[in-house]
């Protein structure tokens, strides 16, 4: 008879190990391995393949119905997306909520995940029933929060939709029965780490519980065509807690980001089966909750009238959205044996690469200078199109020169000192022209769109620096 066996699963990365370790051998997390019992699989009696003749096998195969279909045989069932009441949320989702989809929303504690989903649930409940499962709060606590947020902005302040139902419950089976009974258009699970399935012996929030609860919710969502929003906690490294299989099960993964010292919040898509990935939505946290930022480029632009050395402007693209961002740089003599490099919103290794190019190809001695680079508003800019702006901001700070505040810089910097082409150039230039910029430095060889800007093509970083630094000392 088969026997039960135990495996140890990491709470952080989901790696499995046949024995217990104090440190996960995959991700290196300490005390993260949890024991999980695997039930034996009863053997089934199967006839031997050799006992069947070739004629019998062909006969059985001929009578078995074929399940595979061609694309022409699959019938189309077009479904309209559901507007959430927030244009920024709809943008990140790819145009609205897809019926029957599973959306995972992660973020730091207190960043505003529950606030966003509660406001969106109230807007959705104006037209159809919505279920909000508050597994971490009581119904009275959620109602108190709704009164503070003054929900119901399109009707009157403080009003709550009558079709918004609250369920303060952590038992998975009870939640599933309520979903199948109510049949809401949208359901919110806040949060998945608080749910538990009674058939499992592990504690809520463990790998087994999170995986089984998400799988059960996915089956109900697909079968009943109900859109589900699931709130997930994040680890200290910023990843969604639980195994990676949690992100593989859902259709869309959204990260809610923001600085606790700033009022703006960024909703970023990292996975979307029904839309573009790396799409960005911008919100602002105010007294009555979250409000949309209609023109986020103005949020990440500094005071253009105040001319300061070491400041340059770029146009970054997050998904299909162009964002005009101000970059700030400071280069100063170091007091230590090795210079310090620091970044805010810019990838650290990318800065090191650009500094090396400036020293080798342009001749700027940065090996004995501290270098600090930051993006305005703390926006994370990871794409290579920001390289030219970083390089010119550092060069301007070193030479104590001012970059024309009406100039935008677009281009990737190669290791040979060349300025390489970037994607979505026309979209970037149109956004810059809309905000009143007059000039643009772009890579040589790209198609020049007619957007009302004075465009200058450059092929090397040294030429771009000479063109951009036209003003005198500050």
Mean pLDDT (the chain, rounded)? 86
State yes or no: 110 annotated in a binding site: yes
- Helix then strand count (H, E) for the chain reads 12, 21
Q: What local confidence, expressed as pLDDT, does residue 472 receive?
A: 44
Does 162 show up as a binding residue in the annotation? no
Of the pLDDT bands very low, low, confident and very high (cuts 50, 70, 90), residue 84 is very high
* Residues 101 and 213 occupy one common structural domain: yes
> Is there a domain that residue 268 lies in?
yes
**In this structure, is residue 361 part of a structural domain?**
yes
The SS3 call for residue 269 is strand
Q: Is 390 annotated as a binding residue?
A: no
Q: Which residue has the higher pLDDT, 57 or 225?
A: 225
pLDDT for 473 equals: 45
- What's the confidence (pLDDT) of residue 301? 83
Residue 55 included in any domain: no
Mean pLDDT across the stretch 107-133? 92
The token duo for 9 is: 């699963």
Place 471 in a pLDDT band, splitting at 50, 70 and 90: very low
Q: Is 113 annotated as a binding residue?
A: yes
Q: Which of 294, 310, 340 marks a domain boundary?
A: 294
Measured between alpha carbons, how far is 97 from 280 in angstroms, rounded to an integer?
16
Residue 152 has pLDDT above 50, yes or no: no
| Contact yes or no for 132/165 (Cβ under 8 A) | yes
Task: Using alpha carbons, select from 188, 191, 195 the residue that is nearest to residue 174.
Answer: 195
Handedness of CA 288, 292, 296, 298 (dihedral sign): negative
Same domain, 305 and 370: yes
Same domain, 131 and 205: yes
What stretch of H or E contains 440?
A: strand 439-443
> What is the CA 374 to chain-centroid distance, rounded?
21
Bond preceding residue 358 cis, omega within 30 of 0: no
Residue from 351, 447, 465 nearest 409 by CA: 465
Is residue 251 domain-shared with residue 125, that is, in the same domain?
Answer: yes
Structure tokens at 95: 């145009």
Phi (first) and psi of residue 368, to 5 degrees: -120, 25
459 found inside a domain = yes
pLDDT at 371: 96
107 is in an annotated binding site: yes
Sign (positive/negative) of CA torsion 261, 266, 269, 274?
positive
Which is nearest to 371 in space by CA: 339, 347, 401? 339
- Domain membership of residue 69 (yes or no) is no
- Confidence band of 353 (pLDDT split at 50, 70, 90): very high
The answer to whether residue 52 sits within a structural domain is no
Does position 440 have pLDDT exceeding 90, yes or no? yes
Q: Which pLDDT score is estimated for 1?
A: 53
Kindly state whether residues 205 and 345 are assigned to the same domain. no
Say whether 445 counts as a known binding-site residue. no
- Mean pLDDT for 173-179 is 96
End of a domain among 242, 259, 294? Answer: 294
Structure-token match 């709130």, residue found:
231
C-alpha 441, offset from chain centre: 30
Read off the pTM: 0.80
Residue 412 domain boundaries: 299-468
What pLDDT is stored for residue 363 in this prediction?
94
- Helix residue ranges per DSSP H, 269-424: 296-299, 348-357, 387-399
Residue 161 in this model has a pLDDT that exceeds 90: no
- Dihedral Cα 230, 235, 237, 238, nearest 10 deg: 20
Q: Which of 434, 390, 382 is nearest to 413 (CA)?
A: 390
| The pLDDT of residue 155 is above 50 | no
Model confidence at 42, in pLDDT bands (50, 70, 90)? low
Q: Is there a single domain that holds both residue 430 and residue 334?
A: yes
108 is in an annotated binding site: yes
Whether residues 283 and 334 fall in one domain: no
Confirm whether residue 354 is marked as ligand binding: no
pLDDT of residue 400 exceeding 80: yes
């Amino acid at each position: 008879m088969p026997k039960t066996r135990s495996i140890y699963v990491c709470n952080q990365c989901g790696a499995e190990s046949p024995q217990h370790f104090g440190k996960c051998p995959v991700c290196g997390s300490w005390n993260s391995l949890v024991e999980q019992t695997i039930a034996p699989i009863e053997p089934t009696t199967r006839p031997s393949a050799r006992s069947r003749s070739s004629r019998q096998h062909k006969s059985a195969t001929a009578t078995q119905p074929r399940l595979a279909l061609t694309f022409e045989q699959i019938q189309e069932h077009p479904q309209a997306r559901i507007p959430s009441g927030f244009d920024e949320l709809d943008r990140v989702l790819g145009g609205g909520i897809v019926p029957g989809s599973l959306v995972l929303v992660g973020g730091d504690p207190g960043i505003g995940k529950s606030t966003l989903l509660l406001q969106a649930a109230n807007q959705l409940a104006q037209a159809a029933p919505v279920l909000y499962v508050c597994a971490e709060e009581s119904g009275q606590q959620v109602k108190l929060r709704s009164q503070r947020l003054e929900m119901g902005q399109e009707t009157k302040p403080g009003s709550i939709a009558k079709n918004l139902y609250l369920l303060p419950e952590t038992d998975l089976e009870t939640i599933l029965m309520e979903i199948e009974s109510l049949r809401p258009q949208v359901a919110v699970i806040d949060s998945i780490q608080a749910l538990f399935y009674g058939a499992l012996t592990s504690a809520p929030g463990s790998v087994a519980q999170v995986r089984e609860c998400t799988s059960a919710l996915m089956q109900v969502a697909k079968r009943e065509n109900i859109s589900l929003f699931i709130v997930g906690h994040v680890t200290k490294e910023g990843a969604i807690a639980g195994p990676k299989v949690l992100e593989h099960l859902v259709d869309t993964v959204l990260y809610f980001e923001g600085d606790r010292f700033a009022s703006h919040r960024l909703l970023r898509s990292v996975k979307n089966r029904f839309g573009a990935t790396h799409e960005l939505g911008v919100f602002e946290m105010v007294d009555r909750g979250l409000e949309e930022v209609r023109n986020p480029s103005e949020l990440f632009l500094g005071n253009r009238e105040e001319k300061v050395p070491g400041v340059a402007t770029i146009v970054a693209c997050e998904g299909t959205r162009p964002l005009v961002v101000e970059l700030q740089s400071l280069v100063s003599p170091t007091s230590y044996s090795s210079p310090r490099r620091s970044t805010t919103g810019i990838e650290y290794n990318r800065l090191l690469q650009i500094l090396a190019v400036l020293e080798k190809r342009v001749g700027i001695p940065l090996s004995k200078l501290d270098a600090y680079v930051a993006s305005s508003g703390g926006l994370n800019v990871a794409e290579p199109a920001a390289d030219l702006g970083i390089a010119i901001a550092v060069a301007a700070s070193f030479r104590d020169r001012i970059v024309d505040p009406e100039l935008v810089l677009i281009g990737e910097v190669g290791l040979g000192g060349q300025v390489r082409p970037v994607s979505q150039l026309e979209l970037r230039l149109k956004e810059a022209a809309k905000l009143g910029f007059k000039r643009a430095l772009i890579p040589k060889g790209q198609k020049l769109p007619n957007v009302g800007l004075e465009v200058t093509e450059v092929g090397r970083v040294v030429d771009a620096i000479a063109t951009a630094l036209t003003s005198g000392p500050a």
